């Protein structure tokens, strides 16, 4: 099985999707990463791209399975003030989808965990592709979106894992919970994003549920 994870910036994969990378690997799903920008808002895009590759390798994603776009359409990258065009996102992701036959596409939901405009645009663009796929009656890929939760749940760390839930571990199912095999490994990988390893992100990675679990819903269109 082949999955494509689409993120907006270097560090999204560690901050928000670490359990996904670990859990899918445990299920023998090959995950490729498409990162739509180098995160060049402060002119450190090249540095951040290198950090992304190192962090992914720490999470056992091969560098050949990483595609980082450096496209003027997504400039200034990683800037809240810059609104990305969902049409351009759709076109960029569609080009990636033409290269391989993916079973799954995973990305943010409409709030994008933090409400960051680039995360929201990433969702909006991929939603266009999901809609087109539905109209064309194509069975693959399945489009899944990462659930954004309330502030209280967001910073509940691993607590929700203690709550019994009718978790569905069939990754083609309706509601999917993916749990981290090692939250420590996710924190270590995030630390490789040296330009981003600031005190508030250190706290985030410690207390965020996204270090311990990811829940996905189908992208309904
Ligand atoms: Zn981001």
Sheet containing strand 176-179, strands side by side: 66-68, 30-35, 2-7, 104-108, 142-146, 213-218, 176-179
pLDDT at residue number 79: 58
Q: How far is the CA of 164 from the centre of ligand 1 (A)?
A: 30
pLDDT score at 165: 61
Query: In angstroms, what is the span from residue 190 Cα to ligand 1's centroid?
Result: 13
- Answer yes or no: are the C-beta atoms of 221 and 110 closer than 8 Å: no
Cα separation values, 15 from 11, 21, 56, Å: 6, 12, 12
Domains of the chain listed by start with CATH number? 2-218 (3.40.50.10320)
- What is the pLDDT, as a whole number, of residue 77? 59
Residue 203 CA, ligand 1 centroid: distance in Å: 16
Q: Running along the chain, 221 residues long, what does each successive block of 10 average in pLDDT?
A: 97 98 95 95 91 97 96 72 89 96 97 95 97 89 95 89 61 76 97 96 95 93 81
């Amino acid at each position: 099985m082949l999955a494509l994870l689409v993120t907006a910036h270097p560090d999204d994969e560690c901050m928000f999707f670490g359990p996904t990378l670990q859990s899918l690997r445990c299920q023998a799903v090959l995950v490729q990463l498409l990162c739509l920008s180098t995160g060049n808002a402060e002119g450190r895009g090249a540095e951040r791209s290198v950090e992304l590759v190192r962090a992914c390798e720490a999470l056992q994603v091969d560098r050949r399975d990483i595609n980082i776009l450096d496209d003027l359409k997504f400039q200034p990258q990683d800037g809240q003030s810059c609104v990305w065009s969902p049409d351009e996102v759709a076109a960029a992701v569609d080009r990636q989808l033409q290269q391989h036959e993916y079973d799954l596409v995973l990305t943010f939901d409409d709030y994008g965990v933090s409400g960051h405009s680039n995360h929201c645009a990433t969702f909006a663009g991929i939603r266009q592709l999901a809609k087109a796929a539905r109209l064309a009656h194509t069975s693959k890929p399945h489009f899944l979106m990462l659930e954004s939760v309330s502030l209280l749940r967001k910073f509940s760390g691993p607590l929700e894992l203690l709550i019994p839930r009718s978790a569905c571990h069939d990754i083609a199912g309706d509601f999917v919970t993916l749990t981290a095999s090692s939250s420590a490994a996710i924190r270590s990988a995030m630390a490789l994003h040296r330009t981003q390893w600031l005190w508030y992100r250190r706290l985030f990675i410690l207390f965020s549920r996204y270090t311990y679990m990811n829940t996905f819903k189908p992208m309904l269109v």
